Amino acid sequence: MAYWTTIIGLLALTQLGLAKYTKFPEGFTFGVATASHQIEGAWNVSGKSENVWDRLTHTRPWMIADGTNGDIACDSYNRYREDVEELVYLGVDFYRLSLSWARILPTGRIDYVNPDGIRYYNDLLNALAEQNIEPLVTLFHWDLPQALQDLGGWANPRMIDYFQDYADLCFREFGDRIKSWITFNEPYEICEDAYGDEKKAPAIDSHGVGNYLCSDTLLKAHAEVFHLYNETYRPVQNGNIMISINSIWYEPSDPADAEQVALAEIANQFKFGWFAHPIFSEEGGYPAIMIENVARQSAAEGLRIPRLQQFDDYWIDRIRGTSDILGINHYTTHLITGPGVDPIAKSPSWLKDIGAVTTMEVGGDSASEWLRIVPTGFANLLRWCKSSYNDPPIFITENGCSDRGELEDYNRIKYFNDYLTEILNVIYDDGVNVLGYTAWTLMDNFEWRAGFSERFGLYYVNITDPERPRTAKLSADYYKQLCATREIPQDDRFKDPALRVRTEL
């Protein structure tokens, strides 16, 4: 009995959060994020053209867990005023949204501007301005016009020009009201999941080849758009511009195993460093270990030219330093168990190029298999970013956890509590320069290949009702309190009743 009360008591103490720090520093900002294709719907109205997700969900619906798609999604194209009301309820400082390229430029190119695309985003931006909510705007969150995919998408170097034209138009039309831009959301997911695999549209699955063609193009396109903003728009619009890089953070399964430690560092270079090193490191270019490993594998495959090569000096220089802030999306940590070819790795592939075996057997559960709850991994990632990239200003552009449709989402609240606590720890103990935090996501939305089966929202959305009613989950009230007090809520009502009852024993 005494034993159990001690155990339960200890659990309760952690649950009650005897955290060292609870209060965020002056100037730290809070927001929530969404993405155009995940919420807007209106996939084929008022001039919008087909994007790669429309194409995938319509022609290969079996690839989506629950057979849903983005045709209507949360219907935010028609209901954006409701979105803004929810933002007001939460009391956020900013709203991270993305623009639908196919709604603005139906051919993908600048030859025809769709007036309704401009109108829609003007209405949304003005509605935000009326409520004093800062927009944080992503140019590309995965919904490429199909017309550009038909030309090869991000595997085609001409995309650098198309992306620049699109960005130029967006800066010109909307930039007077936007102080913060994001060029790309999660370059790794764009290149590896969509070109090197079939986890994201257009699901090209050119493993070990298309993924690297994509990264060459994407990093150059990012750099050109940074320079365009920096030279032409920043002097008048005074904003900042960054990229948001996602990390599955890798840790050794046995921290005392030196080989695993070294392999985890290599895996982090392949995952985060692939896009962060060219932009944020002092020397620039792809991480040396990537070039080395891919060259070795390519030679073994009998290739004349390695599947990934270093940028030339011009591009190393052109890409280096092209982000005002390091935008980080972070959800989870996976483990490295040893050297070799991961059993799930295709050949050739990015994963095989790493040369390590990974596992997801770590941390707590969410509704997503890949999302393991490991708050300390977040702190380690943030400290690693500080030391690897010369102490950059960091903005958390996404963080969150999935459920399967419940309103009393204690697991999500605990996730926020524990991940936010780690942010405070690294700010105060390690001097990591974290400027703001973005919860993914405002409301349950089209979770890509998981459809609506994995829900990340602070608001529940009933997708069987044509009105798409949204209901605040308990975490919405938790987040509202966080935004109001700038302090991690400690109230009992946010704690899992199962643990609450036991503390009274």
Q: Choose which of 54, 75, 82, 398 interacts with ligand GBH (CB under 6 A).
A: 398
Q: Which stretch binds ligand GBH (CB under 6 A): 24-32, 171-179, 186-194, 320-328?
A: 186-194
Q: Choose which of 162, 331, 389, 437 interacts with ligand GBH (CB under 6 A).
A: 331
State how far the Cα of 362 lies from the Cα of 56, in Å rounded to an integer: 32
451 in Cβ contact with 411 (< 8 Å): no
Q: How far is the CB of 192 from ligand GBH (least distance, A)?
A: 9
Q: Is 487 a catalytic residue?
A: no
Q: Choose which of 80, 181, 456, 494 interacts with ligand GBH (CB under 6 A).
A: 456
As given in the structure block, the two tokens for residue 219 are 């990093």
How is residue 389 annotated by DSSP?
T
Site size toward ligand GBH (CB under 6 A) is 16
Nearer to ligand GBH, 199 or 480 (CB): 199
Q: How far is the CB of 500 from ligand GBH (least distance, A)?
A: 29
| Residues 195, 54, 139, 36, CA torsion sign | negative
Nearer to ligand GBH, 73 or 295 (CB): 73
Q: Choose which of 186, 224, 265, 353 interacts with ligand GBH (CB under 6 A).
A: 186
Nearer to ligand GBH, 35 or 52 (CB): 35
Q: Is 406 a catalytic residue?
A: no
370 binds ligand GBH (CB under 6 A): yes
Query: Comparing C-alpha atoms, which of 208, 205, 178 is closest to residue 194?
Result: 205
Neighbours of 65 (CB within 10 A): 14
35 binds ligand GBH (CB under 6 A): yes
Nearer to ligand GBH, 154 or 456 (CB): 456
Residues 93-112 that bind ligand GBH (CB under 6 A): none
403 binds ligand GBH (CB under 6 A): no
Q: DSSP states of 87-136 as a string?
A: HHHHT-SEEEEE--HHHH-TTSSTT---HHHHHHHHHHHHHHHHTTPEEE
Say which of 186, 192, 422, 447 is annotated catalytic.
186
| Residues 477, 479, 483, 488, CA torsion sign | positive
332 in Cβ contact with 377 (< 8 Å): yes
State how far the Cα of 225 lies from the Cα of 72, in Å rounded to an integer: 31
352 in Cβ contact with 297 (< 8 Å): yes
Q: Which stretch binds ligand GBH (CB under 6 A): 148-156, 184-192, 427-435, 485-493?
A: 184-192
333 binds ligand GBH (CB under 6 A): no
Say which of 40, 192, 198, 398 is annotated catalytic.
398
86 binds ligand GBH (CB under 6 A): no
φ and ψ at residue 474, rounded to 5 degrees: -60, -35
State how far the Cα of 480 lies from the Cα of 497, in Å rounded to an integer: 20
Q: DSSP states of 164-201 as a string?
A: HHHHHHHHHHHGGG-SEEEEEE-HHIIIIIHTSSSSST
185 binds ligand GBH (CB under 6 A): yes
425 binds ligand GBH (CB under 6 A): no
Which residues participate in catalysis according to the annotation? 186, 398
Site residues (vs ligand GBH, CB under 6 A): 35, 38, 185-186, 189, 193, 199, 246, 329, 331, 369-370, 398, 440, 447, 456
